[in-house]
Chain A
């Protein structure tokens, strides 16, 4: 591997385990760049989920904890409540946040915990081999929906920011994707706003990122980006879903 140019200070100079075409690398980098730009590296604590991003603590050069599956926002709550002056964020996948950890994310948002959540939605369970996620689209084939997801048997995909929108404690909710440089620039702006929401002590902020999982979609990286654009974006509208910041 060649030398990496301009690695953010908040990233370790290591090669990640992520598959070719996976969105996590870009999203990690955006988070690290924003932490650097805000000058908060020395006061930031991240919480990694269970799932593909569990090793985020080996890639981000900041203080980080691992959480049991889905309990990521509860761990964040514990850290933030006893260290309210620190910047605390969770980095979670769709299984972690929208299935096993639904209770935690809803109540953390409801309490208006002053933390930030980066929610990576790739429409499958990546780590365990491409099973149906709560965000798997209807008709989408996965390891556990071999005939495509049918609402009759497997319910409907969850739109997380829309679900959290009614909660008063949820202040900033947005959704973007990593499938083009244009989208990445917008995504960075949203993540930055989410961290600003926390720095300004406004309450709970969450940015959902639509991210491709080429391996489990059985597509090439480029095809998987097209798949996100054609299938995920129409169902999961991009933009700021709620901006209650003052």
Chain B
């Protein structure tokens, strides 16, 4: 048994994370504490920064050095990091940012929440960019997807967000800590000293006439390529489903149980669980929508992912929403009641 926070940290160590930079914030403190021990045991870098601003910029420096690096935080801390995340998207620097999200807005509370979907998926910082966003739903996935996240960051030279929440971070589940192969990608662009080559620079500023637009076009091409190549999604009993639930992370665990209960009552329900929130599994949702009576998006937010569901469905079937905020957890009975009322 291991907590989600610790599973994520252990996976980062095993995936070859050379520099971890963090700042205390609940509900991800076990993670920073875990890394403060494990990174030193492995003779790697751990720094408790003076702020989230400093932590993410240390990540920027380590990423510019060409090593695997990460930070972890929770919602208000992630808000503080947005400037540097935008820089890193522009710089094309690979790194991992794990958000063990909590309720907002503002200081909110310390319970798990999914109200940072917009921030993660729609940009968060300034400028035209996307981040790969991966949403685990179990402690096992907190472990497994951390490897995936590092590989994707290196492959596409881009920051990757692991979007979990306080419940996933703190819950304990039996987890298989299995060794995985690490994919090493040569980083000729890294700042390692201009030895036997031209000097390298890492920057996001382009002042010349048309230069920034050309840089943006290059970035957009990359985002297009990612959208084409990457989509992780889990489908449960969707093939014959008349009612499609869409939920990710913690909310999807509840929806899984709802699908099972409805099936026992001969109601043909199914679940689509997006794993990559960006790119969003548009085609999966679109396809399911064409045969469904209706779609119900369930979130621990006031309704954020549901906007992407609607975009994917293209009005082919009604889309309803049920959500809880401020640390509230959607109840099975309530979801079943809503579904029955729409039948």
Contacts and interface: CB of A to CB of B under 8 A. Distances in A.
Interface of A: 41-45, 47-48, 54, 57-58, 60-68, 71, 74-83, 86, 103-104, 106-107, 111
A110 to B, nearest CB: 8
Contacts of B21: 78
B192 A86 contact: yes
Given A74-B54, A78-B61, A63 B83 contact: no
Contact of A82 (B67, B91, B202): B67
Interface in B33-60: 45, 47, 49-51, 53-55, 57-60
Nearest to A66: B203
Contacts, number: 130
Nearest to A40: B193
Contacts of A111: 47
Given A63-B193, A66-B205, A86-B193, A79 B50 contact: no
B191 interface: yes
B194 A75 contact: no
Interface string B71-111: 00000000000011001000100000000000000000000
B58 A78 contact: yes
Contacts of B192: 45, 63, 83, 86
- Chain B interface size band reads 35 or more
B202 A66 contact: yes
A103 B199 contact: no
Contact of A79 (B64, B194, B195): B64
15 contacts: A42-B195, A58-B201, A60-B199, A63-B193, A63-B194, A66-B87, A66-B202, A66-B204, A68-B83, A68-B87, A71-B57, A74-B57, A78-B64, A83-B192, A86-B192
B65 interface: yes
A74 B59 CA distance: 9
Interface in B1-51: 18-19, 21, 45, 47, 49-51
Contacts of B53: 71, 74, 103-104
Contacts of B195: 42-43
A78 B185 CA distance: 20
B200 interface: yes
Contacts of B62: 78-79, 81-82
A190 to B, nearest CB: 24
A80 B61 CA distance: 8
A14 to B, nearest CB: 13
A113 to B, nearest CB: 9
Contact of A63 (B67, B69, B87, B191): B191
A100 B251 CA distance: 40
Contacts of A75: 57-58, 60-61, 64
By Cβ-Cβ distance, the 6 closest A-B pairs, closest first, are A78-B61, A74-B57, A78-B58, A71-B57, A107-B50, A42-B195
Nearest to A79: B61
B343 to A, nearest CB: 52
Contact of A78 (B50, B60, B196, B203): B60
A81 B67 CA distance: 11
Nearest to A83: B65
Nearest to B202: A65
Contacts of B45: 81-82
A74 to B, nearest CB: 4
